[in-house]
Chains A and B, each alone.
Chain A
């Protein structure tokens, strides 16, 4: 079976039931592809065993880039390209560089974070996000289980487990075409 194509969806009404279900399903040895919920469920990422987001690292690196860019730009302009005497200061008055440096640091770290987030979550303009169940934007929690990565268990077993842990519906979803 091909990976990332055939899914079983468990639909949950309640976040507490969902959290318990995630724990039990992982205990039963079933790998969960992803859980989609209309709002952030506290503690769900820990139940799912996600590693911590590396977005802060991206933010720091982009911020550092902004700092370096701002300082080099101002140094180059004020010291080498077109030195000007402003307010009787030296050609490279470092304190006056700080506001611009601060702004560029914040700007690049914010834009960098948003960009990285968009790309890694397939929300880029040229990307096509897959929708498992449109109700996950309204009032249902949707748990997607990839059949290919749980081939050893078989579909019937997965459906059975999903029903016992409290899924209100169990559906199929194929992304064949």
Chain B
């Protein structure tokens, strides 16, 4: 119907003290858990040393946890930018009121980059087996021909076992370009707010397309670098997709939660149950996509049963520590979203979505937990106070950074050429 629709397009999100306080309390509880977790590890029982030469130290568990959260929250941040870029590249109209929420996730990226690089320099020997120089020395008893063969991927052009310059350069480049693209897209979107006109939308579309090409490559390579190289001997050709799928579902769940939160606070009144339904469909569809990728990887390895491939799942499924979490992982990330979000009603009512998205966010954190911990901690790992604590600390830090920056700009891309279309979105 061609009646003019009046919405407050100049609305700004106000980050109230009440909300900030709640997030800080969650973060504070997380910090307490985290400190208690460290204390338990320090003074509690000593872990069993699996591999003779490295005695287990509690700091290893701290580093592994930092790494899980670094990778996971980097994913949430970059998926915000990625989903923003998807909207423009696909000329999507329905999502026009939500683009500012998506792009606001990217504010975590610079922090994530610094955290990642610092953690790597502090903890590389505890996290990555390939950083030990003796495995590249043919005369040493620890010489490892397989890792030696892969060494150039980390050390080129320097000598293997020295400084992993290629690895560091990739990490810096990826974060550098991601932050660059994030800033570019955000600036263009802000200029559109100021000046209006469709030329910004076209420029956003071009920049989005370029970013998507870069992201297609960088997301895969970063997954090999940051996650797959923990299990240095092992490889999987679809690991990049696997990590991306996990990131994407988690990012979509976070976006849905933030959107519902903003609506409940009284913002974004043009976002109705049809838009929420679409977000729910994304979460539902990409939960199945994640399962498809997870299962493709599992089935091929299971069926071929080649020892050097199967070791990845043997390490996890046969372990007392991680075996059960594989099932929890599949239940949280596939069976529950599949069965609960299948019906139309559950995607249109925020009660179901809030519950499912929270579970999915935890489920995909658990997925990264299962990728990182078995390779770094072996039987000394587990889901304890330290894990839950640090997850809450990161989650509240991420929320505060995101919401603070969301409050600084417009909440709605008020000159987006497709706003009117999105008001009438109907499914």
Chain A residues packing against B (C-beta within 8 Å): 16, 19, 42-43, 52, 56, 60, 87-89, 93, 95-96, 98-99
Contacts and interface: CB of A to CB of B under 8 A. Distances in A.
Given A42-B426, A52-B344, A95 B299 contact: yes
Contacts of B295: 95, 98
A56 B344 contact: yes
A95 B330 CA distance: 13
A93 B298 CA distance: 13
B115 to A, nearest CB: 37
B314 to A, nearest CB: 14
B343 interface: yes
Contact of A43 (B343, B344, B426): B426
A95 B426 contact: no
A15 B378 CA distance: 65
What range describes how many residues of B lie at the interface? 10 to 19
Interface of B: 1-2, 295, 298-299, 302-305, 342-344, 424, 426
Contacts of A93: 302
A99 B344 contact: no
A56 B298 contact: no
A121 B299 CA distance: 42
B176 to A, nearest CB: 41
Nearest to A19: B1
19 contacts: A16-B1, A16-B2, A42-B424, A43-B426, A52-B344, A56-B344, A60-B342, A87-B303, A87-B304, A87-B305, A89-B303, A93-B302, A95-B295, A95-B298, A95-B303, A96-B299, A96-B303, A98-B299, A99-B299
A89 B305 CA distance: 9
Contacts of A88: 305
Contacts of B304: 87
Contacts of A19: 1
Contacts of B426: 42-43
A93 B299 CA distance: 11
A95 B313 CA distance: 14
Contacts of A56: 343-344
A60 to B, nearest CB: 7
